[in-house]
Amino acid sequence: MVPIEDLERFNPWWKRGVVPPEWTKEYRRNLYFSIERSIDRRQIILVQGLRRVGKTTLMMQVIHHLLTTVNPKNILYFSFDDLTFGIKDVLESYQKFILHKTLEESHEPVYLFFDEIQKQDGWENTLKTYYDLYSNTRFFLSGSASVGLRKRSTESLAGRVLDFILKPLSFEEFLELNGKKTRDIKKDADLWKREIVPLFYRYLKYGMFPELALETDEDFAKKYLQNTIIERVIYRDLPEEFGIKDLDLLKNIITLIGKNPGMIVRYSEIAKNLGRDQRTVANYFEYLEYGLLLQFVFNYRGSALASMRKMKKVYFSSPNFAFALNLDLDRVLPLMLENLVASQTGAKFFYRNGFEVDFITETDSGLVAIEVKRSKQEVKQLKRFIEKFGDKPIDAFVLDAEGEGEKDGVRIVPIWKFLLGV
């Protein structure tokens, strides 16, 4: 049984009728509105995402919305991040101390919010039982994404789950948190350039996480990224999930990528340099990907299947991590710009075969080819790509920090404008 004081600590609305304002935040991220529309559906809502992207705040905002129409005692929130109680313990105590009846006896919907659900062994089977038995229960789950969370939600709870991903802040969300109306900016972006460009560089360095969106102290931001996200994933989340023992290897891999985001991944070379087994190194890269710190981009070969078998590059899920791990910002800044485009476009491919193009994205209407500018060669590279794959419609962009124009059918766009869809 869970002591009632632990339940009350997580659920102050039982006494006050409201969520404490400091728990909800005024700003609503884009994903909030999708979830709000789905909250009364029968399916379990599962929100996955990296640490510190705002999953708990999102839950509190949904609870705040529900409290306008729902009895406060019919809403339960519990975090499994630090406490060792099980799901059954929580629900038994909740029914006994708060509902004063069983879930089966409740004639009104009961909303159950479970944070960091991946900490519970066998959570998917437990929730499947409650879901199937009690039609009035509505489950809202969050978790720091991992292989177990993804696999169990799709396999064991097939048809019972609506799966959402909460990503780091988009540039639009960052600007709105900084008091800028993106609708006005998009109407005449050049008018806003002097204000937006400094904000863009702050976003690039450390502004993709809600608690840092208004921060101006770079030293604090760097420590926050290191201590509350990178080290938490390396030293706690991944060891708990996979039983990892070689924490130095995890840290060495992160440090290696921090020096060169966008590097070609050659496991044999990395293993040799780090003095580890090649298969172990490959596994550890995969662990970091599951922990949402890394993302892979594959060499495009005309089809997704063929591409996945070829060489790949690795980026951070946010360029903010490269900022946190580097003292020489001038050296790594061009790579951070490239990393930003990788993370924000979700590109799965690059092209390298005689020449190179940074990112290739497949769409329903054709291909999008992107170069993040480092020299005047970028337009030439894109022209060669267009000629090689001319049987498909191709939108080609060179993304520059500042430059703008069009040359030989290739648009040259400042990255900050590209991120705003201007």
The model carries a pTM of 0.92
Question: In percent, how much of the chain has pLDDT > 90?
Answer: 78
Selection from 230, 22, 335, 181 nearest residue 221 by Cα:
230
Token match 């790509």: residue? 385
pLDDT in tens, 183-204: 999 999 999 999 999 999 999 9
* CATH (residue range 4-165): 3.40.50.300
pLDDT in tens, 66-83: 999 999 999 999 999 877
Q: What is the pLDDT of residue 121?
A: 84
53, 132, 136 from 45: Cα distances, Å: 17, 15, 15
* Domain map (residue ranges) of the chain: 4-165, 169-216
**Structure letter (DSSP) for residue 291:** T
43, 122, 167, 176, 221 from 29: Cα distances, Å: 22, 31, 10, 10, 21
Axis crossing angle, helix 329-345 with helix 193-206, rounded to the nearest 10 = 90
Vertex 200, ends 385 and 401: CA angle to 5°? 35
Q: Distance (Å, rounded) from C-alpha 378 to C-alpha 368?
A: 15
Token reading at 394:
């191709």
45: pLDDT strictly greater than 80: yes
pLDDT band at 146 (very low <50, low <70, confident <90, very high): low
